Each structure stands twice: as structure tokens, then as C-alpha cells.
Amino acid sequence: MKELILLDVFSYSCMNCLRSLSFVKKISAKYKKFGLKTIIIHPPEWEFEKNSPNINFASRKYNIDFPIKIDKNFKIIKKLGINFWPAQILIKGGKIVYKHVGEGNYKKLEASIIKNIKIRAKTIFWNEPKYSKFPTVYCGKKKNGRISALNDKLRFGTVYTSRGWAQKDEYLQSLKNNSSLTILTKGRTTNFVANPANNKRIKIKIILNSKAIKWLSVNRPQLYRLIKSKNNRAKELTITTPKNLQVYSFSFQ
């Protein structure tokens, strides 16, 4: 029987990829005994994701026990015809038999696996799983991050900063102590991708609707959860930080 390979195109600081990974893990756990082999293809969304130790740390953090192929220069995904992730591809006998780009379609992926390994099985997904579809807010020039001075009316999708921030290609960087930035949130959970520029731990204050709620340490480049609330109402979220914090993006669920 020809081997069936599931390729999951994934980057470790991508919230969409992490959410998708949870479903891929369920599929792999059920069908690996029937010969399904799952492999992670890891292209870098950010420069720090080209770093093998960062990827290895994330692999341990998120309990990824699949082989990981690091695709620093996007050669693998170009051959696969992929320019966006997450994505799942099934390969049998060297040929692509299923491809989906973006989140979702896990029920169809499972059906294709069952068809290609030719078994009868009780499916994991009776209905397509639901997930939040809020857009990511980017901070750097390369992804057209919208940056503005803080004013009275906040708009979702814009990052509002105090003085003392510099917009680089991939991120916003704080240039002085007590720098602050503010966004309007969506959903119940707000995350951000951040990194200490000098590789030294940075402690930031998180303020929600003008009330300080907690401190958070940023010690390496990765996705951090900022807040988790009980409702989906939009909120004004502010972080204050010392200099040298790099903020790449905000994501919501």
C-alpha cells in the first residue's frame, strides 16, 4: 500500500496555525495506526522563525511530536503551490490528492484520509468545527500595519501609539521607557507576537478599559496571551513597556 502523508504548513507564532494544529493532532492520533504519516512544514512568517532553537522550543511548548521540516527560503511550499498558512496537503504515491489553504475543512480532510487509506471508520468530525475568524492586526511596514497617534475614537485594525515607537518592516519597537500602545480588541481572547530586542526579559503592564489588570514578562520571540475575558464585547487594551519591546501583531479569538 502506498504511504499516505499529511503535510501541515504551520508557523509557530501564527494563532491560526496553532488553532488548526489542534485538529491536525486529533486526525493524526486516530489515523496513524492505519499508516498516516504527519509532517510539519515550517516556513517563517517572521525573521525569528528562521531560527532552529526557537522552533525547537515551540515544538516542546506545544507538544508537537511530528517531524518538522524547516522551510527557511520557502522552497518546499513553492513546490506545493502554497503561499499562505495554515494549509494541509495529502500526498499519496508522490502525488497531491488533497489540498486546503487556510483554517477549516477538517471534515473534508478526514474524509479524504479515509478514502485514500481505504478503511471504514467512525469519523472524528460529524460537523465542521467552528472557530473565530477575526483578522490579525499587524504592526510592521511589510504587512501594512496601520499606526496612529492616540485619539478619542479607536478603530479596530489600527494600533495607536504614544511617542517613542519606531515602525520597522516587521514590528513596532519601543524606543524609551513607559512607551504605550493601544488597540481595540475583538473576541474573548487577545494575543500578541512580541520579542525583547536585546534578548533580556521585559516586563509589561496590561491595562484594560483604563484599569491595570496584570503584568506580563516577554522573554523570547513567540505568541503571548494578553487577556481572556467572559464576553465578546470590544475593549480598549493598552500595554505600557520599557524600551526595546518589539510588537509584531495582535490576534483574536
Residue at grid coordinates 515607537 = 165
Distance in angstroms (rounded) separating the CA atoms of residues 250 and 135: 9
Q: HSE of 179 in the Cβ direction (CA atoms, 13 Å)? A: 23
Percent of the chain with pLDDT over 70: 99
Q: What pLDDT is recorded for position 71?
A: 97
Q: Which residues contact 81 (CB under 8 A, 6 or more apart)?
A: 99
Q: What pLDDT is recorded for position 62?
A: 97
Task: Tell whether the model's pLDDT for residue 73 goes beyond 80.
Answer: yes
Instruction: Summarize pLDDT for 189-245 with one digit per residue, the tens.
Output: 999 999 999 889 999 999 999 999 999 999 999 999 999 998 889 999 999 999 999
Q: What pLDDT is recorded for position 58?
A: 97
Domain ranges of the chain: 4-117, 137-252
Instruction: Summarize pLDDT for 108-154 with one digit per residue, the tens.
Output: 999 999 999 998 878 887 788 887 789 999 999 999 999 999 876 89
CA distances to 109, 139, 157, 190 from 136, rounded to whole Å, are 25, 10, 8, 10
> Whose CA is closest to 202, among 223, 220, 182?
220
The residue-averaged pLDDT of 14-26 equals 96
Q: What pLDDT is recorded for position 1?
A: 55
Rg (CA), the chain: 20
**DSSP state at residue 114:** H
Superfamily of domain 137-252 in the CATH hierarchy? Galactose-binding domain-like (2.60.120.260)
pTM recorded for the entire structure: 0.94
Domain 4-117 identical in fold to domain 137-252: no
Distance in angstroms (rounded) separating the CA atoms of residues 253 and 190: 7
First-residue to last-residue Cα distance in the chain? 41
CATH of domain 4-117: 3.40.30.10
Residue type, 127: N
Q: What share of the chain is helix, strand, coil (3-state, %, to 5)?
A: 20, 40, 40
Cite the beta strand spans of 18-59 per DSSP E. Answer: 36-42
Task: Tell whether the model's pLDDT for residue 157 goes beyond 60.
Answer: yes
Q: Return the bridge partners of 239, or none.
A: 181, 206
Is the peptide bond preceding residue 43 cis, with omega within 30 degrees of 0? no
